[in-house]
A and B are shown apart, each in its own frame.
Chain A
Amino acid sequence: MSNYDFDRVNILLVEDSQFMRSLLANSLKVLGVGNVFPVEHGGDAIHFLNRVKNEPMKVGVQQIDIVISNWDMHPIDGLMLLRWIRRHKDSPDRFVPFVMITSYTEPERIVQAREMGVTDILAKPFTINNIGEKLISIIERPRQFVHTKEFFGPDRRRQKFPPQVERRILTDKSEGVEVIRG
């Protein structure tokens, strides 16, 4: 079995607490992540992503591979950042995996993040293993993106059901379904 090499992975880390920011950046680096770009809140993150889009040479990164962001921040929180990334016309990559860090684990909160297109949730308090598991899940189990009138984001169904249990009405061949590959 081979080991993951995260050396070429670029992570944008959005966390307003200085202590947590350096702790997370440090943990990711020790896990071998080549480039961690730490910023202080959602507004800084949007500014940074704009720069990656417009002047990648200056920033020193062509593309962000994963966004890891705290939820509760001021003035722009994690949910607003996620909304911008998934829906705004200036977003450099609407499909980028987005991990939300939060101590809000009430079901309605989780649903709110999911409806906005979150990829995964990292609940506080967390361990290094939790961080590792999230990275592996993003790499090994990427989900297709679904775009409907009401929703844009990673498929909210993670499980594969056998045909007799599957409740999804539309298949790839149905009328009104378009599959885009890239």
Chain B
Amino acid sequence: MASNKPVIVRFYRFQNRLKEKTVGLAPGNAAISPEALEKAEQALSKMSEDYPDWVSSIVVKLQEQHGRCVDSPEMRRECFEEINHMAHDMKGQGGTFGYPLITNFADSLYGFTIQRPGEITDNQIELVKGHLDAMRAVIRGRVSGSGGEIGQSLTDGLAQAIEKYETED
């Protein structure tokens, strides 16, 4: 007979449909075939090789937006939105492909191009360029990992530029 007491917790337990789908009902352990893993690893590293080219192509697009900011100040807000979107796209994956510096620089670019009230100044436009230069240097020099001394000097250079321009505004 059903109880009138209120239910405090419900536990839902289902048949393992996914297991039936992938290994059938046969008992015993299953594994992902080593050949499939190997093939997938290779596909991933093949795509990773394309990563610097992909970054370069985005940097070219960012460069075009930067150019528009310089030439047409009335377009700045629109351009910043584009730049912000592209920076977001870049920032998530540098680490996956061994370029954490790209992630750092893209993250910084993303952070300071988020729309805020007020005019977009020449100094801010100059800072966009600073970020692009740093990214280009990373890709040109294939500076992977934290990049040792070169990485540190790029990071410091960008940090100084940010400090300089932000205090001037």
Contact = CB atoms under 8 A, between A and B. Distances in A.
Contacts of A175: 3, 5
A56 interface: no
Contacts of B21: 8-9, 65
Given A30-B43, A126-B96, A1 B8 contact: no
Contacts of A164: none
Contacts of A179: 10-11, 13
Interface size class of B (residues with CB under 8 A): 35 or more
A31 B36 contact: yes
B22 A139 contact: yes
Contacts of B44: 23, 27, 127-128
B37 A2 contact: no
Contacts of B72: none
Contact of A132 (B10, B19, B37, B90): B37
Interface string A133-149: 00110111010111111
A164 B123 CA distance: 65
Given A2-B28, A139-B22, A145 B11 contact: yes
A19 B12 contact: no
A2 B26 contact: yes
Given A5-B23, A70-B92, A125-B95, A177 B8 contact: yes
Contacts of A155: 11
A172 B8 CA distance: 12
B30 interface: yes
B41 A1 contact: no
A107 interface: no
Interface string B1-30: 001011111111111111101110010111
Contacts of B167: none
Interface of A: 1-6, 8-9, 16-20, 22-23, 26-27, 30-32, 65-66, 70, 72, 74, 95, 97, 103, 124-129, 131-132, 135-136, 138-140, 142, 144-149, 155, 170, 172, 175-182
Enumerate the 9 nearest inter-chain pairs by beta-carbon distance, A residue then B residue, closest first. Answer: A176-B8, A125-B96, A145-B12, A30-B40, A3-B33, A147-B10, A125-B95, A128-B40, A4-B22
Interface of B: 3, 5-19, 21-23, 26, 28-33, 36-37, 39-41, 43-44, 47, 51, 54, 88-90, 92-93, 95-97, 103
